[in-house]
Amino acid sequence: MSQTDWTDVKNLAASAPDIRSLFTADADRFTRFSAHGAGILLDYSKTSLTDESLAALLRLAREAGVETKRDAMFTGEIINITEQRAVLHTALRAPANASILVAGRNVVPDVWETLDRFLTFAEAVRGGSIAASDGKAFTDVVNIGIGGSDLGPAMVTGALAPYHDGPHLHFVSNVDSAHLADTLRELDPARTLFIVASKTFTTVETMTNAGSARHWLAKALGEDAVGAHFCAVSTALDKCAAFGIAPDRIFGFWDWVGGRYSVWSSVGLPVAIAIGATNFRAFLAGAREMDEHFRTAPLEQNLPVLLALVGVWHRDGLGYPARAILPYDQRLSRFAAYLQQLDMESNGKRVTREGEPVAHATGPLVFGEPGTNGQHAFYQLIHQGTDVIPCEFYIAAQGHEPELAAHHDLLIANCLAQMQALLLGRTLSEAGGNPHRVFPGNRPSLVTAYEKLDPATMGKLIALYEHRVFTEAALWNINAFDQWGVELGKELATRLLPVVEGKQKAAADSSTAGLVSFLRGSGAA
Ligand code: F6P
């Protein structure tokens, strides 16, 4: 990609117009700076993009080979070069007649066989034919996993609450004993099924929680009951077996599925238990529709590409450090946390695919909370703070509670009002000369709008963001599919554990030694 293209984008950003003036000059701005795909509307008109800057960004995308790189991902080329792996979460939602080769073998039949297996298991748990050790149905299911083995199923299960008609779902991720203890306190071991979800089956948090859960269950029901009350989701089938889980209760996936991209695989088992196989297939079909859109729509009308171009405009052109994810949808309460992993673990990189320092700022800080709650918390800084934070709103045309339709009108009005406040602001004279009440305005926002948060839409929203992350990574020439940045902390925790346990002397910096002494010595007493 030529430096000139980046220079063009940066020069255009340096003289970016006031967003308000763009609306004044062009009555048609909404139509021209919004796009539809797979039943989703993306409105990016409330940004400072112009025809010229959008054209420059599209040039950048073409120069970066976004289309070629996209096709390489979909066809199973080894694009995760640091781990020598294909990246094929899209194969998990591919049609049954597709052919996607990894090392010369079509993976789609394996995907469908595994899908059928874990959906059959989910239906059997829901129907009670897979039952507890006393032969009665499970009423509660606890998923034990962390990162991608937790956030995806936890977020989607919460989002699709109106579709729940199976056992109650619980999620334990944190190694903090509080998480497991607070969850188990409410549960009856005789009625509880555990899913141990870990791609590697070595993650210390998950293995620790799984071991303690196993102990809790065996203490109440006896060691013989363990087999009936545990199942596993992992690529490490031998390790699951060593934990004591029977082969027909182990659901695999593949090394070409990254943890944060795995909710479509058997990692989605808790979702399937909550909403059933038909709804789970609709969730996959929604994602497939977005995949099709990403693969075939021209870049100018391609939702993930447009989202990525706006992201790069804000991050690299205008130098904004963060993006706020603001769903006006209470059931998306874990969506920001989910996208935080998807985005920051993928694009929080400082070297290029070739290992050279990057020439541009990469992934921004991603944070957020559902509206309207966020309005009464951190929006103050977004409206009047010294940093500009592009806000990305999500809103449904319809809620799931027709009897409470007035709430939804109020929700929509609030969402629109926030975007308008960011755009228009309030001048000193409008504020009665009081500088404390001035809103600068000209602050950018985007909105992704959809009809209703049903399983298919949930699939589309996730796939949209996955492909946005992919496209941004392609523009920055970084590998979005490894996560070496999580390793050092894990290694140091292993080394520090004996020090914390008092079995070894701290051979570290004086701060670490002082803290160990406070937490494990006289200071904590
Ligand atoms: O935090 C690092 C990470 O490897 C994530 O990428 C992953 O989703 C999570 O840990 C859990 O890993 P596993 O599924 O192997 O337990």
pLDDT digits (tens, 9 = 90+) for 303-313: 999 999 999 99
What lines the ligand 1 site, CB under 6 Å?
146-149, 198-200, 203, 206, 259-260, 345, 483, 486
Q: Same domain for 138 and 253?
A: yes
- Domain count for the chain, please give it: 3
pLDDT at 525: 43
Is 376 an active-site residue?
yes
Q: Same domain for 480 and 494?
A: no
Is 96 contained in some domain?
no
Q: Same domain for 26 and 135?
A: no
Q: Same domain for 16 and 129?
A: no
Is 345 an active-site residue?
yes
**What single-letter amino acid sits at 122?**
A
379 and 373 Cβ atoms separated by less than 8 Å: no
Q: How many CA atoms lie within 13 A of 503 on its CB side?
A: 6
User: Which atom, in ligand 1's list, is nearest to the CA of 483?
Assistant: 6
By most ligand atoms within 8 Å of CB, the mutation choice from 82, 83, 143, 146 for ligand 1 is 146
Question: Last residue of some domain: 221, 254, 278?
Answer: 278
Residue 450 CA to ligand 1 centre (angstroms) = 31
pLDDT at 5: 85
Q: Same domain for 261 and 329?
A: no
Q: Same domain for 305 and 451?
A: yes
Name the token pair of 486. Answer: 């999580």
Closest CA to 237 of 280, 183, 198: 198
Is 490 an active-site residue?
yes
Contact residues for 404 (Cβ-Cβ < 8 A; gap 6+): none
Closest CA to 44 of 295, 390, 329: 390
Q: Print the SS3 string covering 186-200.
A: CCCHHHEEEEEECCC
Is 100 contained in some domain?
no
Residue of the nearest CA to atom 6 in ligand 1? 259
pLDDT at 508: 76
Is 424 contained in some domain?
yes
Residue 147 CA to ligand 1 centre (angstroms) = 5
Chain segment 311-349, per-residue pLDDT in tens = 999 999 999 999 999 999 999 999 999 999 999 999 999
Supply the CATH number for residue 501's domain.
Answer: 1.10.1390.10
Question: Last residue of some domain: 233, 252, 278?
Answer: 278
Residue % of the chain over a pLDDT of 90: 97
Marked catalytic residue, from 376, 403, 491, 501: 376
Is 55 contained in some domain?
yes
Q: Same domain for 362 and 406?
A: yes
Is 257 contained in some domain?
yes
Alpha helix segments (H runs only) across 385-454: 405-424
Is 103 contained in some domain?
no
Alpha helix segments (H runs only) across 230-384: 237-243, 269-275, 277-296, 303-312, 335-340, 346-347, 379-384
Question: Last residue of some domain: 259, 278, 297?
Answer: 278
Q: Same domain for 457 and 478?
A: yes
Is 397 contained in some domain?
yes
Q: Same domain for 232 and 309?
A: no
User: Which atom, in ligand 1's list, is nearest to the CA of 205?
Assistant: 16
Residue numbers of the domain that contains 130: 108-278
Question: How far, in Å, CA of 399 to CA of 392, rounded?
Answer: 19
Closest CA to 233 of 335, 153, 130, 333: 153
DSSP state of 18: P
Q: Same domain for 219 and 80?
A: no
Token pair 């099709």 in the structure block, residue: 292
Residue 84 CA to ligand 1 centre (angstroms) = 18
Supply the CATH number for residue 57's domain.
Answer: 3.40.50.10490
Residue of the nearest CA to atom 10 in ligand 1? 147
Residue of the nearest CA to atom 3 in ligand 1? 147
Residue 392: pLDDT over 90: yes
According to DSSP, the β-strands at 105-106 and 140-144 are unpaired
Q: Same domain for 226 and 136?
A: yes
Closest CA to 450 of 396, 394, 393: 396
pLDDT band at 523 (very low <50, low <70, confident <90, very high): low
Question: How far, in Å, CA of 467 to CA of 307, rounded?
Answer: 9
Residue 505: pLDDT over 90: no
Is 1 contained in some domain?
no
Marked catalytic residue, from 36, 215, 452, 490: 490
Residue 285 CA to ligand 1 centre (angstroms) = 26
User: Which atom, in ligand 1's list, is nearest to the CA of 259?
Assistant: 8
Q: Same domain for 257 and 212?
A: yes
